[in-house]
Amino acid sequence: MQNVIWIFGDQHRAHAMGHMGDPNANTPNLDSIAAQGVPFRHAISGCPWCTPFRGSLITSRYTHQATQRTPQTLDTSLPTIADAFNEAGYDTAWFGKWHLVGSNKMEYVPREARGRFKTWIGYENNNAQYDCWVHGHNHHGRDDKEPLTEKLQTYETDALTDKLLSYIKEQKPGEPFFSVLSVQPPHDPYVAPPKYLEKYCPETLELRPNVPKIPRIEEPARKDLAGYYAMIENLDWNVGRVLQTLEEQGLSDETHVFFFSDHGDSHGSHGHFRKSNPYEEALRIPCIVLPAGGARSQEFSDAPFNHVDFAPTSLGLCGIDIPDWMDGTDYSSHIISDRPSLEKEPTSAYIQQCVRKRFQSVNRTWRGVRTNDGWKYVCLEGQPLVLFDLNEDPYETLNLAFLDTHNEKREELQAELQGWIDRTGDEFPLPEL
């Protein structure tokens, strides 16, 4: 039996890694696992917002069936990825940010709302990386029926990684585990340990070409990015610590490691900041899988990997049957060669913003598709919003949604989008063609 580890941060956009060509990023460990593992080059956040992604991540249900806004409480009766691994005889553990009990603060998460992980040490939400408190339960007598809290003594990412490393070192041969490390960085505020912050100067950072050359956009983008890249370098260092510990414990050959994020961060692209818009900087996420023993089936995958796909793919890698309640796709055959290929693979990923978000975002609800051959089509209610050919226009500078030259393509993609709405039981009025 094989193990699975998920490592993910918050607001880490897909482009912000060295192997993705970002001249600002220093990510040697992520670059290494991308070279040895399988990067999903079109992976996206099906709803680029914290709580909606997390609800879909652990339930493998689309946003309208799980959590639609931040904050929102996830229905505790819904089965989770922990249930599936528990039933298969695995130990399960969660360390870090949860954000699924309906608060944007450092709230107490009741035990019944922790997704039934056997070990759960975390917090609801936090925006102070040097003032982070955790609570929870484990197999070693820690049980906070009378809430016990613990202040992390170092920077959040470092301290939570320490807890994961301690957990890994306690594992016994032949007893499989599924564990999750969920950290707030590189989410704002963009604060990192000083030894990382001192490496990045706002004035020398290279902005993406789609950031408007307007001072009120460029200046805050540069300031934020200096801290952002420092946080990413620190996260990369901690990924290296996890890989080293697996090697030292003799677990590398039996542990699949996922690295990803809940959504991206705009940092001024198209004049936007943060998330919840359908542009690539907010929508696309890192998604790299380092298979156990490094025996990958291919160098990369162009599958339209979505937030609902992490759970079934993780189970598939371990040879565990996918429960009927999971809506996602098992892409394990894209990672290791001894998994059966899918009879019919999705050709697009479904993307949603189910409620209006009024801060630094597209303040309307929308639905869309992003195809595995590089097209994106997004609609407001009854109105097209964007149509991009990402193959010729990766920075999304030419909106084709209103050009008669692309009516046929818009009809094709609208039919694809309507198919997703129908199959998932969603409701959304698409525009007339």
377 and 272, same structural domain? Answer: no
Q: Does residue 381 share a domain with residue 330?
A: no
| Domain containing residue 154 | 3-334
d(CA 263, CA 275): 7
Asked whether the beta carbons of 238 and 218 are under 8 A apart, the reply is: no
Taking 70 as the pLDDT cut, the residues of the chain under it are 146
CATH of the domain at 398: 3.30.1120.10
Walk across the sheet containing 287-290 and list its strands. Answer: 38-39, 287-290, 255-261, 3-9, 177-182, 91-97, 119-123, 133-137, 150-151
Q: Are residues 308 and 379 in the same domain?
A: no
Domain boundary among 334, 354, 377: 334
Q: Tell me, what's the pLDDT at 146?
A: 65
pLDDT, tens digit, 9 for 90 and up, residues 195-231: 999 999 999 999 999 999 999 999 999 999 999 999 9
Of 315, 334, 353, the position where a domain reaches its end is 334
| Structure confidence by residue, pLDDT tens digits, 394-421 | 999 999 999 999 999 999 999 999 999 9
On whether both 276 and 408 belong to a single domain, the answer is no
Q: Say which CATH number the domain at 94 has.
A: 3.40.720.10
Phi, psi (degrees; rounded to nearest 5) at 258:
-105, 135
Whether cis (ω within 30° of 0) applies to the bond prior to 189 is: yes
> What element of type H or E holds 151?
strand 150-151
Helix (H, G, I), strand (E, B) or coil at 142: coil
H helices present in 171-277, as ranges: 194-197, 215-248
Cis previous bond, 186, omega within 30: yes
Residues 186 and 308 both lie in one domain: yes
Neighbouring-strand partners of residue 388:
376
- Which of 176, 303, 314, 162 is CA-nearest to residue 237? 162
pTM, rounded to two decimals: 0.97
Q: Are residues 397 and 255 in the same domain?
A: no
Q: C-alpha distances in angstroms, 112 versus 100, 115, 223, 241, 254?
A: 12, 7, 41, 32, 31
Residue 204 has what pLDDT? 96
For residue 183, give the DSSP letter.
-
Which of 160, 156, 152, 159 lies closest to 120, judged by CA?
Answer: 160
298 CB neighbour count, 10 Å cutoff: 12
Could you tell me if 372 and 244 lie in one domain? no
Alpha-carbon distance of 205 to 222, in angstroms, equals 7
Question: Which residues touch 370 (CB under 8 Å, ≥6 apart)?
Answer: 42, 44, 283, 304, 348, 349, 351, 376
211 in a structural domain: yes
From residue 113, alpha-carbon distances to 55, 91, 101, 202 in Å are 12, 18, 7, 41
Domain check: are 263 and 114 in the same one?
Answer: yes
Q: Which of 122, 158, 117, 154 is closest to 139 using CA atoms?
A: 117
Q: How far apart are CA 302 and CA 349, in angstroms?
A: 11
- Name residues whose C-beta falls within 8 Å of residue 333's C-beta, 6 or more positions apart in sequence: 297, 316, 339, 340, 341, 342
Is 183:10 a contact under the CB 8 Å cutoff? yes
Number of domains in the chain: 2
Residue closest to 349 by CA, chosen among 45, 23, 2: 45
Task: Return d(Cα 372, Cα 360) in angstroms, integer.
Answer: 28
* Same domain, residue pair 386 and 273: no
Q: Is residue 429 part of a domain?
A: no
| Residues 319, 401 share a domain | no
Tell me, yes or no, whether 45 and 91 share the same domain.
yes
Cβ pair 26, 294 in contact under 8 A: no
In this predicted structure, what is the pLDDT of residue 338? 87
In a domain, 174, yes or no: yes
Q: Are 120 and 85 in contact (CB under 8 A)?
A: no
What order do you get walking across the sheet with 375-380 strand by strand?
A: 348-353, 366-371, 375-380, 383-389
